[in-house]
Structure 1
Amino acid sequence: MTNFYFIRHGKTEWNLQSRYQGAHGDSPLLPESYHEIELLAKFLAPVPFVHAYASPIKRARTTAECLVKDLPGDVPLTLDSRLREFDLGKMEGMKFTKVEEKWPGVEQNFHYHADRYDEKIVDGESFPAVIKRMGKAVREYARDYPDDANVLIVSHGAALNAGINGLLGVDLAHLKDRGGLSNTSTTILTTDDADHFRLKVWNETDYLHKTKVDPTDTI
């Protein structure tokens, strides 16, 4: 059995501002995000990881590098462009509210109604395309590590939500039925054959010890 620990990157300046970052936009991690990565490392410390994979986009790469450094042992880290965030085209760098003003329905559909999202409006990437590339990467890792292995994956909120639900066989219309994924969260899937996946944990963040909900933490 292979266990996959999916981590959303630490919170960034644009996350806090409710801006789309996408595959080409980016912004620095907030100062407090480094502390939250340390808390995540303490939570994951008992798990012996055989390998870590991360999106090469800086916010995810930095999260992965800090996390691996704080984990016990020597966990190899590989960057894989298939784990990158959605290409959001013209939306990248824009605030959510501005996108909704310019292209009515696009922001709501991207966040809550994937089956209605038309990526052509913003010259972006489709949900099926992201699900396909994310799924191909994870299944490849599962075949590489088939025997009682723990694999770490650091990626992005929207891509992880689409990719994880794709592995679970969830229809586009229901991608958000479980809610979103928070910054520095952990979601765990298991598989015995690299084809069929089971959900074990969704969006775990208790180790961050947050006392109030900030809606900008979750997408």
Structure 2
Amino acid sequence: MATVILVRHGRTTANATGLLAGRAVDVNLDQIGREQAALTAGRLAAVPLVGVVSSPLERCRQTAQLILDRQPGTPYTPIEGELTECDYGQWQGRTLTDLASEALWTVVQSQPSAVVFPGGESMAAMQARSVAAIRRHDAAFEAEYGAGAVWAAVSHGDIIKSILADALGMHLDLFQRINVGPASVSIVRYGADRPSVYATNTDAGDLSWLANGLRSGDAPVGGGAGRNIP
């Protein structure tokens, strides 16, 4: 299959103040967030992307645009509603400090699969829709551009954590073990037999080795020789 680079949006004004923005409009990257996203765009500049798929929320579209500004050619750039932020319902717009006093907070930490946000969606539904969207786009990019195609999906922290949990074969109740920082890069390749996770939560390092795509096939016993460093 193709290779997907999962990019979280850069830091926002809400992130900086400890506010759960959710799906609120006009939540933009702050100066640090723009710098973070620009750094990620620079890392991805060496990788010809066939597409950059983005959540519809501003902070993701801003991050995606910075990536596109450093790309040669004209990658396909759809907006994907199924990659939007979790619907936190009545939690949206409240501070994380305030939310930590809610009984549901403990369930979010220890049993996400049982969580339904008041007036919002369940975390299980969030994972189901986001994983389905990633796999659908991945299959479409491979069908169009071949197995060596590399594309990026720009989304949100909990969304990317849930996608990584699925790729790692982890139950959703374990997904809080995964960290996904602002403007971080994670890399997944969906093979014929199983997904392979090549990176999680990276914010530095050369990515030019992705320009030649990733090999499919069996996992090397013992770990193999790894990639050639340019």
The bucket for the TM-score relative to the shorter chain is 0.7 to 0.9
Measure how far apart 1:130 and its partner are.
1.0
Partner of 1:125: 121
2:161–2:180: 8 Å Cα contact kept in structure 1? yes
* Cα distance, 1:163 vs structure 2: 2.3
Q: Which residue of 1 aligns with 2:56?
A: 56
Deviations 1:79-130 (A, max 9, x none): 00000010000111100111123x23x23432x324365325x222112101
Match of 1:80 in 2: 80
Alpha-carbon distance in 1 for matches of 2:111, 2:16: 23
CA distance in 2 between partners of 1:97 and 1:37 (Å): 26
TM-score (norm 2): 0.81
State whether residues 49 and 71 of structure 2, in contact with CA within 8 Å, keep that contact through their aligned partners in structure 1: no
Classify the secondary structure of the residue corresponding to 2:50. Answer: strand
Q: How does 1:1-219 map to 2 (within 5 A)?
A: 1-24=1-24, 27-101=27-101, 103-104=102-103, 106-110=104-108, 112-115=109-112, 117-120=114-117, 122-146=118-142, 147-177=147-177, 179-193=178-192, 196-206=194-204
SS at match of 1:206: coil
After superposition, the C-alpha distances for 1:153-192 in whole angstroms (9 at most, x for unaligned) are 0000011111221233210221122x31100000000122
| 2:167–2:197 Cα contact (<8 Å) kept | no
Report the aligned-residue RMSD: 1.8
Residue 73 of structure 1 aligns to a residue in which SS? coil
| Percent of residue pairs bearing the same amino acid type | 24
**Distance across 1 between alignment mates of 2:113 and 2:39:** 37
The equivalent of 2:210 in structure 1 is: none
What's the CA shift string for 1:27-55, capped at 9, x where partnerless?
22111222222211111111111111000
Q: Give 5+ residue unaligned stretches, structure 1.
A: 208-219
Distance 1:39 1:141, change over 3 A: same
Runs of 4+ in 1 over 3 A off after TM superposition: 114-117
Measured in 1, the distance between the counterparts of 2:127 and 2:2 equals 20
Counterpart for residue 209 of structure 2: none
Q: Output the TM-score relative to the length of structure 1.
A: 0.84
Aligned to 1:82, what secondary structure does the other structure show? helix
